[in-house]
């Protein structure tokens, strides 16, 4: 912990940050004005869900991409990249959307077809970009998806049941093969691991333990390029401890090459720590944002950190017990900025 606190005081690195480093995880509908405000403020990536259960309603039906296409198009027009996370098993595959589709050949083939279809549509050689190229009726700046995240919080029952490193390893193998058939250069990012979920296996496993057990599955390392983490914490020092623990797990397994993505971080602006430990008030939200990014940028090389996504863009009342106040803006169609947004701009720009 002493080392983490020392790192917090270090000056920000002058080294250039990776393309797409500053991300947002929106939880409300985005309009053109939102994309414009993001671009002006230095947002380079948005992380969005692509639910298989919504895209393919039946085994004989096609893939309904219209909603996701609108997001990709609007983002590309503002030069904002998209990081999708693929998840949610449809009812015709399993009775539980949280159950990973790895039980039997039928499930595995169906998932593989879905993943391949997504990459063939939006990846580097995607048909979407051909249909919207220069000279077409509706041209869109070419900004194909370069990285694909497989599932979300696979170590926590809220998104995955059961939480099983072995089952998730099987999903990674299937996904890697499907993605690389369509785009051999694409990066495969594991689903964002919840740092320290409450509960015991098979409902919940800490991120470091889940990752340690995942590495122990023979041959799994060849099937992903980056590890993702959701290090929700009471303060930046605690976040630093979570991040360092996961990176140490990677190094212990000889995986120095793989990058790290923090695909959700955030603190709420309500002043109600009795309800949620990381609701710290308006000034506290800005303070933790500044100190977290300062730590992460200063230690980017040591962590091989590729992307950090703030959760979320605007407050989302009723979505979860902390989503109501983690936004950089208050809820609503307008843009009532919080101090955290001004802090974000200072860092990202």
Say what the pLDDT of residue 271 is: 84
Q: How far from 250 is each of 44, 150, 164, 210, CA to CA, in Å?
A: 26, 18, 18, 12
Say what the pLDDT of residue 7 is: 40
163-181 mean pLDDT: 98
Quick one: three-class SS letters along the chain?
A: CHHHHHHHCCCCCCCCCCCCCEEECCCCCCCHHHHHHHHHHCCCEEEEEEEHHHHCCCCCCCCCCHHHHHHHHHHHHCCCEEEEEEECCCCCCCCCCCCCCCCCHHHHHHHHHHHHHHHHHHCCCCHHHHHCCCCCCCCCCCCCCCEEEECCCCCECCCCCCCCHHHHHHHHHHHHHHHHHHCCCCEEEECCEECCCCCCCCCECCHHHHHHHHHCCCCHHHHCCEEEEECCCCCHHHHHHHHHHHHHHHHHCCCCCCEEEEEEECCECCCCCCCCCCECHHHHHHHHHHHHHHHHHHCHHHHCEEEEEECCCECCCCCCCCCCCCCCECCCCCCCECHHHHHHHHHHC
From the number of C-beta atoms within 10 Å of its C-beta (0-12, 13-18, 19+), residue 99 rates as middle
Q: Is the pTM of this model over 0.85?
A: yes
Q: Which pLDDT tens digit goes with each residue over 268-325? A: 999 876 667 789 999 999 999 999 999 999 999 999 999 999 999 999 998 887 789 9
Task: Reply yes or no on whether the pLDDT at 153 is more than 60.
Answer: yes
Per-residue burial over 291-307, b if 16 or more Cβ lie within 10 Å, else e, is: bbbbbbbbbbeebbbbb
Task: Reply yes or no on whether the pLDDT at 9 is more than 80.
Answer: no
Q: How far apart are the C-alpha atoms of 20 and 108, rounded to whole Å?
A: 31
Q: pLDDT-based confidence at 245, cuts 50/70/90?
A: very high
Task: Reply yes or no on whether the pLDDT at 97 is more than 70.
Answer: yes
| Residues 41 and 345 sit within 8 Å (Cβ to Cβ) | yes
Q: How far apart are the C-alpha atoms of 337 and 241, rounded to whole Å?
A: 30
Q: pLDDT-based confidence at 15, cuts 50/70/90?
A: low
Q: What percent of the chain has pLDDT over 70?
A: 95
Cα–Cα nearest to 214, from 269, 179, 172, 178: 172
For the four alpha carbons of 118, 121, 123 and 128, in that order, the dihedral sign comes to negative
Say what the pLDDT of residue 320 is: 81
Task: Reply yes or no on whether the pLDDT at 12 is more than 70.
Answer: no
Cα–Cα nearest to 180, from 119, 229, 241: 119
Q: How far apart are the C-alpha atoms of 36 and 30, rounded to whole Å?
A: 10
Q: pLDDT-based confidence at 70, cuts 50/70/90?
A: very high
Q: How far apart are the C-alpha atoms of 192 and 195, rounded to whole Å?
A: 9
Q: Which pLDDT tens digit goes with each residue over 160-170? A: 999 999 999 99
Say what the pLDDT of residue 323 is: 81
Q: How far apart are the C-alpha atoms of 117 and 47, rounded to whole Å?
A: 19
Dmax over Cα atoms in the chain, in whole Å? Answer: 59
Helix axes 165-182, 207-215, angle to 10 degrees: 70
Q: What percent of the chain has pLDDT over 90?
A: 90
Cα–Cα nearest to 308, from 83, 116, 96, 156: 83
43-58 mean pLDDT: 98
Structure tokens at 289: 């944002």
Say what the pLDDT of residue 6 is: 35
């Amino acid at each position: 912990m002493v080392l983490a606190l020392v790192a917090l005081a270090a000056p920000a690195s002058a080294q250039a940050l990776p393309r797409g480093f500053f991300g947002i995880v929106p939880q409300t509908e985005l309009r053109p004005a939102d994309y414009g405000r993001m671009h002006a403020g230095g947002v380079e990536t948005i992380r969005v869900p692509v639910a298989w259960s919504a895209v393919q309603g039946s085994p004989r039906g096609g893939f309904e991409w219209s909603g996701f296409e609108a997001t990709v198009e609007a983002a590309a027009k503002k030069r904002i990249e998209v990081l999708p996370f693929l998840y949610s098993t449809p009812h015709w595959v399993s009775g539980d959307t949280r159950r990973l589709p790895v039980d039997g050949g039928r499930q595995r083939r169906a998932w593989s077809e879905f993943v391949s279809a997504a990459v063939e549509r939006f990846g580097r050689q995607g048909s979407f970009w051909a249909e919207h190229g220069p000279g077409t009726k509706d041209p869109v700046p070419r900004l194909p998806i370069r990285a694909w995240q497989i599932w979300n919080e696979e170590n926590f029952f809220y998104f995955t049941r059961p939480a099983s490193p072995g089952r998730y390893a099987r999903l990674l193998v299937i996904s890697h093969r499907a993605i690389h058939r369509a785009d051999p250069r694409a990066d495969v990012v594991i689903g964002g691991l919840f740092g320290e979920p409450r509960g015991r296996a098979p409902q919940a496993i800490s991120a470091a333990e889940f990752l340690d057990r995942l590495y122990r599955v023979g041959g799994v390392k060849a099937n992903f390029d980056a590890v993702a983490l959701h290090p929700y914490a009471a303060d930046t020092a605690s976040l630093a401890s979570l991040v360092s623990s996961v990176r140490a797990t990677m190094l212990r397994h000889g995986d120095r090459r793989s990058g790290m993505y923090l695909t959700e971080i955030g603190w709420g602006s309500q002043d109600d720590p009795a309800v949620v430990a990381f609701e710290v008030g308006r000034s506290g939200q800005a303070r933790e944002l500044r100190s977290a990014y300062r730590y992460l940028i200063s230690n980017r090389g040591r962590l091989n950190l590729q992307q950090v996504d703030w959760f979320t863009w605007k407050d989302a009342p009723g979505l979860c017990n902390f989503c109501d106040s983690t936004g950089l803006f208050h809820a609503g169609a307008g843009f009532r900025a919080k101090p955290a947004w001004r802090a974000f701009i200072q860092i990202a720009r």
